Structure 1
């Protein structure tokens, strides 16, 4: 078990020896849904999954799913995705008050978006909010850039700038074995944080009351304080695939909010 100073919570300040003040987080993912077409875009045939969730799609065996528009994300939020972005991570929350979600990676191929892969995960244990505040235990709905990463373990090949600091991350663990590896790898979500600094940097441009320290990190089987979690294989994939030159962003929220 790693040492710790104070029980960690997304958006909650904790003390630790030798590193200063830090913010931690625990994340989750959402359930994929949205309108799908039955068109053949050449790279793959998109079709509904029999008996699946509304808008759930799959591809012909061995072929990727390609969409002209990322499904399940309405114009309100899609309009906030920079035109220059070529990679979008969408967190589809199961419900406004649910901690269950699915994380899906989309990459732009020409004018279409390819659904590369997806993973189950979790978000804030009380669900989602469009007005996140410290300790509300809800993940913020919105579109945020992804610029910095880190973890207690060595860089697995991240294309994002990576900070490895075992002392910093170990001090944020809570005293439960289930959380012992939460921060082996993390990707900072640029909600109320300075870009170009380590994920555990305390800077809060919009004020401490707005929370912060919200990350993508390793899943521990249930809801978080505000972060989004996914399996280790998924996090390593994102670290190795997300390219700063593609200006990656995360679009996250419950399905109802995302479709608005």
Structure 2
């Protein structure tokens, strides 16, 4: 039997090899019915003050006065990789190819064009970005990836995504700048890079092979660079979890600004 202390140690070791998360097995608290074939059907979150009354409608975003037809900062090649049915796009724009600093903006497709949410400061991997991410390179993968599954150490805040809660999301140790990693995985959203959509973020399946890394997540910021993930403030993670709607086929577009402009 693996004790909680042993599980935490295994997860800490996996951070160095495969990304911010991954490597640990799904915990017993994984929501029943979530399988590799896809997340279970589930009702929308309880109605909240100011939230849309229609079930399945995402939380409102702050729109710009004139919604652009395209997404600012994304070039022709990048936009072509965004699926036609994606009506929610999380854009992670890195400050530079080798920088761990970035900005996250949630866009919603509307009849008039793309509506943008507020920009959120974020961290990405210590060494920046890579077009060909490999496990342990300390770079975040550039590309367009699905957002299908979430989880965390804390209870589900009301997301429409499949949510796996359990102690496997314990984040021990310290970051690259000596900051505590405690609470980093209180909320996570799995980025569908080298993973099986429809499974827990802790699932170890790596379709591209273990050498290509994995466990790339959006998670709570700990105040420093990551191993490969993208991190934002806890409040912004909760807002994102409440906004994302599987019916809108959300994706993340991530990379340094020069790469995204191609």
The answer to whether TM tops 0.5 is: yes
Match of 2:98 in 1: 97
Q: Measured at CA, do residues 74 and 9 of structure 1 come closer, stay the same or move farther in structure 2, by a change above 3 Å? A: same
Match of 2:240 in 1: 238
Asked if 2 retains the 8 angstrom alpha-carbon contact of 1:133 and 1:209, the reply is yes
> Residues of 2 paired with 1:10 and 1:153: CA distance?
25
> Residues of 1 paired with 2:63 and 2:243: CA distance?
19
Match of 1:35 in 2: none
Q: Measured at CA, do residues 84 and 188 of structure 1 come closer, stay the same or move farther in structure 2, by a change above 3 Å? A: same
TM-score normalised according to structure 2 size? 0.77
Alignment partner of 2:193: what SS? coil
Structure 1 runs not aligned, ≥5 long: 21-61
**1:64 deviation in Å?**
3.1
> Residues of 2 paired with 1:115 and 1:17: CA distance?
36
Asked if 2 retains the 8 angstrom alpha-carbon contact of 1:5 and 1:14, the reply is no
How many residues align? The count is 216
Alignment partner of 1:253: what SS? strand
Match of 1:84 in 2: 85
> Residues of 2 paired with 1:248 and 1:87: CA distance?
5
> Residues of 1 paired with 2:85 and 2:101: CA distance?
30
> Residues of 2 paired with 1:247 and 1:17: CA distance?
26
Q: Structure 1, residues 46-65: CA drift from partner, whole Å, max 9, x if none?
A: xxxxxxxxxxxxxxxx8634
Match of 1:173 in 2: 172
Match of 1:194 in 2: 196
Q: Measured at CA, do residues 107 and 180 of structure 1 come closer, stay the same or move farther in structure 2, by a change above 3 Å? A: same
> Residues of 2 paired with 1:160 and 1:17: CA distance?
20
1:219 aligns with one of 221, 225, 242: 221
> Residues of 2 paired with 1:112 and 1:18: CA distance?
39
Runs of 4+ in 1 over 6 A off after TM superposition: 13-18
Alignment partner of 2:121: what SS? strand
Alignment partner of 2:237: what SS? helix
TM-score normalised according to structure 1 size? 0.78
> Residues of 1 paired with 2:17 and 2:161: CA distance?
22
> Residues of 2 paired with 1:67 and 1:91: CA distance?
18
Q: Measured at CA, do residues 150 and 75 of structure 1 come closer, stay the same or move farther in structure 2, by a change above 3 Å? A: same
> Residues of 1 paired with 2:193 and 2:205: CA distance?
11
> Residues of 2 paired with 1:206 and 1:110: CA distance?
37
